Structure 1
């Protein structure tokens, strides 16, 4: 029963992660901490082991999404590889920082992060894109299925600095960097939203390989729990990628905002008390 429940959590994380480009860790980690530690379904899981489980999941969420988005040619591989270069040292540094966190500190910091991300998702549609970065960087074009042409771009040095920070947060908390990177790609670099989500999931896949290697080395991966998570996440990501091509993600993002805000406030309270 407990493993089935873990698989269902991973399924939901895969669907939401692939649909809006988040990677799924923001769903898996708080849900697993609550079910595993508070409800005592998995009493042997520590925050570090839950993070290790999350980064393993994101390999398969990212792989499933990438294969799906490749068919629709939504991924900007060149930009994704540039972002990956910056994220490599960031994810390794974040994984190293993770080992010093106890449960109250993890809950407090992770709760603050969830609240910030929820707020960012809430206001991102009200923020105006900044054209400075595209005017002072490499430019790219994308033509969607309706024949509409988009121009976007970024200074390579800024993209590497940004993805180092995103990678560090990803390594520290075990979440997909897309929760920070997608809004930045849309608002700062003027990426078409569907290209931003697809490219983000490609980068999530690559960075999760490095992130998981770091956590495996640190002994943070609970291998006995990985099978239901991998299966659930892979299937969920396939479904989420298909939904991304057909549906508007506004409703899902709104629900995600509410869930993240509630989980964030709850984690902060637990961390403080």
Structure 2
């Protein structure tokens, strides 16, 4: 019976995570520990293993829909890898738990603000930050093949953002998907469907790297990880089909806001669970 419940929960988390571009790992770890008796090492290893097929399946569908911006993903992913190394190094010098709590509360506040009704009209797409710095070198225009919406980007700014998101991920031991998606939408004015698809594509590399690391140190026990892996694969398929049939826009941004709230709560739960177990990841 527990395996059935775990499968259903995993499908729901994965479907939601793929839809909003977060992946779902930040939601899964505390759920596995609190409700299914996983210790934190195995919970993290199972989460990393589950994210690999979920990110691959989601990215396959997104690639067929031409909604992945490979240029943006490269500009974010490569600096993020360097930032992750720096963040892991800074763990020894900064009050990580206190900073993580502040960060989680900040994410929750951002989610609440995004959920609140806005009386003002939506600002025009050409009023974003990228259009204000259009004269700076390495600024260029991208155009999505699916909805033909154009958006302006600056390679330097996007790379700095990728480095910062990687640093936060390495410092706090969390994925950067729930940071990347809303910033791509709100700051860079990237269409919601492109932002969620690009964020999920970035997770292909990060989740595989994390899976290999945890597999080598023995945190992936297939007897406990396989049900989660299968559920995340099914959830990713369902989430990808849902995303394909629904036009991105207002509702997508509301889903992302809910995801931020859940992610913030998940970070707080991870923080409490890590402090109780003494395990850091």
TM-score by length of 2: 0.75
Distance 2:88 2:221 in 1: 15
Alignment correspondent of 1:115: 105
Asked if residue 63 in structure 1 is aligned to residue 63 in structure 2, the reply is no
What residue is the counterpart of 1:191 in the other structure? 190
SS in 1 for 2:220: coil
Deviation at 1:12, TM superposition (A): 1.4
For the aligned residues, what is the CA RMSD? 3.4
User: How far does residue 271 in structure 1 lie from its aligned partner after superposition?
Assistant: 7.8
In the alignment, is residue 140 of structure 1 matched against residue 141 of structure 2? Answer: yes
Q: 1:223 to 1:15 in 2, by over 3 A?
A: same
CA deviation profile, 1:70-121 (whole Å, cap 9, x unmatched): 11100011221222212223445667889x9xxxx87x87665443323223
Shift of 1:195: 0.6
Number of aligned residue pairs: 258
CA distance in 1, matches of 2:54, 2:133: 30
TM-score of the two chains, using structure 1 as the length reference:
0.77
Residue aligning to 2:227: 228
* Closer/same/farther in 2, CA of residues 124 and 138 from structure 1, 3 Å limit: farther
**Preserved contact between residue 27 and residue 266 of structure 2 (Cα < 8 Å):** no
Partner residue in 1 for 2:203: 204
Counterpart check, 1:54 vs 2:47: yes
Using the TM superposition, give the Cα deviation of residue 175 of structure 1 relative to its aligned residue in structure 2, in angstroms: 4.5
1:238 is the counterpart of 2:237: yes
Deviation at 1:22, TM superposition (A): 0.7
Structure 1 unmatched ranges of 5 or more: none
Separation in structure 2 between the aligned mates of residue 49 and residue 198 of structure 1, nearest angstrom: 28
Deviations 1:198-250 (A, max 9, x none): 11110011221222223333433333222111111111112112222333324
CA contact (8 A) 2:67 2:146 kept: no
1:249 aligns with 2:248: no
Secondary structure of the corresponding residue to residue 32 of structure 2: helix
Runs of 5+ unmatched residues, structure 2: 277-281
Aligned 8 A contact 1:77 1:199 in 2: yes
Asked if the contact 1:23–1:175 (Cα under 8 Å) also holds between the matched residues in 2, the reply is: no
Q: CA deviation at 1:166?
A: 2.2
Q: Using the alignment, how far apart are the partners of 1:63 and 1:174 within structure 2?
A: 22
1:24 pairs with 2:24: yes
Q: CA deviation at 1:143?
A: 4.1
Q: Distance in 1 between matches of 2:90 and 2:48?
A: 15
- Greater mean deviation of Cα atoms: 237-246 or 59-68: 237-246
Say if 1:264 and 1:202 are closer, same or farther in 2 by CA, change over 3 A: closer
Q: Is 1:55–1:175's contact at 8 Å kept on the other side of the alignment?
A: no
Q: Is the 8 A contact 2:114 2:254 kept in 1?
A: no
SS at 1:78 equivalent: helix
2:210 & 2:129 partners in 1: Cα distance?
31
